[in-house]
Chains A and B, each alone.
Chain A
Amino acid sequence: MSGSERPWSPYVAGALSGVLAVASVLVAGKYLGASTTFVRSAGMIENTLSPALVDTAYYLKYNLAVDWQFLFVVGIVIGAFIASRTDGSFRVQMVPDMWTARFGASPLPRALAAFAGGIIGVYGARLAGGCPSGHGLSGLAQMSVSGFVAAACFFIGGIVSARLMYGRATR
């Protein structure tokens, strides 16, 4: 970490994002979430390859077009870009530091793990009915029983997985 980085307190950033979540529900009637966008995007890609591919029950539940959440996810890319450019924390990097320390700096193993983990992660998120945004943040803010169950399982699965990847943590 360079000394020029000036992160905000996660409490402040988190609380402000809570205000944002409430404003979004009030103004647009939309709760924050992200993983449905991956379904829509995958469906849109498959539809251009062959419309027959998306003639299946799950895709038929969704209007396969750009919607509020799709632009929300695009906005996250832009917002993170702006924030990181304004405080010098933007950094082009193919392999994260923690990964390098454990598995080395070669980009290929990291790419394979990110790809495979992404498949498993979103498969699970869709089965669970949402991701840490939809179930975790929006679900827990509404005190939905599904949110508590899913968020607990996200962290239990994640802690076990991280332990398998890294072994016992040494600080």
Chain B
Amino acid sequence: MTLVYGLITGIVFGFLLQKGRVLRYDKQLGALRLMDMTIVKFMLSNIIVAMVGIYLLRDLGLVKLSLKATALGPNIIGGLLFGLGWGIVGYCPGTSAGALGEGRLDALWAILGMLGGASLFAHTYPALKETVYTWGNFGKITLPDALGVNHWIVLAVLAALYVLILRFIERKGL
């Protein structure tokens, strides 16, 4: 059943990504060239809604968080590398699949490259594990944990910040 949920969730997500027009290369590069912030509008809207929903359900004891470890070495170096590649390929892993679905066949080359990147990573992981991964490792922490502040206060401040970013984008006509 979990597999069926995965397929259904993917279909709905792909549908929404396409309707929001965030899949294509021109939109991804548009954001990175600071010309068209459509993907930022989509992402921040998603985050504001999901943030409230997830923390509400968590406080009701219905869901658990699933945090990725905060390790500054891999998060920063990996994040910057991802960004470097993103600006060249113009798709991220999720949107490459969606772009293929709306007929953008250059996404096939992207997907092949991404499979190669995953393989390369798997085979170089043992060396990274002893080095980069040990730099600045703080474990699985949330911003409210790190600040020692109630999560609803942090959430409200972040939501307000995101709305301000979106208003700024709209004012600039991006």
In contact, B45 and A26 (Cβ under 8 angstroms): no
Q: Any chain B CB within 8 A of the CB of A158? A: yes
> Which of chain A's residues 77-102 have a Cβ closer than 8 Å to chain B?
77-84, 87, 89-99
In contact, A143 and B53 (Cβ under 8 angstroms): no
In contact, B32 and A98 (Cβ under 8 angstroms): no
In contact, B32 and A159 (Cβ under 8 angstroms): yes
Cβ 8 A contact of A14, one of B42, B104, B113, B142: B42
Interface residue SS majority, chain B: helix
> How many residues of B are counted as interface, with CB atoms below 8 angstroms from the partner's CB atoms?
124
The distance in angstroms between the C-alpha atoms of A124 and B118, with both chains bound, is 9
Cβ 8 A contact of A78, one of B3, B10, B115: B10
In contact, A117 and B110 (Cβ under 8 angstroms): yes
Give chain B nearest CB distance to A56 CB in angstroms.
Answer: 6
Interface size class of A (residues with CB under 8 A): 35 or more
User: What residues of B have a CB within 8 angstroms of the CB of A152 in the complex?
Assistant: 79
Q: Given A10-B22, A153-B83 in contact, is the A129-B69 Cβ separation under 8 Å? A: yes
The distance in angstroms between the C-alpha atoms of A58 and B125, with both chains bound, is 6
The distance in angstroms between the C-alpha atoms of A37 and B74, with both chains bound, is 19
In contact, A146 and B62 (Cβ under 8 angstroms): no
| Residue with the greatest number of chain A CB neighbours at <10 A, chosen from B41, B71, B96 | B96
Give chain B nearest CB distance to A94 CB in angstroms.
Answer: 5
Cβ 8 A contact of A146, one of B67, B92, B115: B67
Cβ 8 A contact of B43, one of A34, A137, A166: A137
In contact, B14 and A114 (Cβ under 8 angstroms): no
User: What residues of A have a CB within 8 angstroms of the CB of B47 in the complex?
Assistant: 18, 137, 140-141
The distance in angstroms between the C-alpha atoms of A81 and B104, with both chains bound, is 11
In contact, B75 and A91 (Cβ under 8 angstroms): no
Question: When each residue 76-105 of chain B gets 1 if its CB lies under 8 Å from chain A and 0 otherwise, what string results?
Answer: 111111111111111111101111111111
In contact, A93 and B106 (Cβ under 8 angstroms): yes
User: What residues of A have a CB within 8 angstroms of the CB of B138 in the complex?
Assistant: 145
Residue of A nearest to B45 (CB): A14
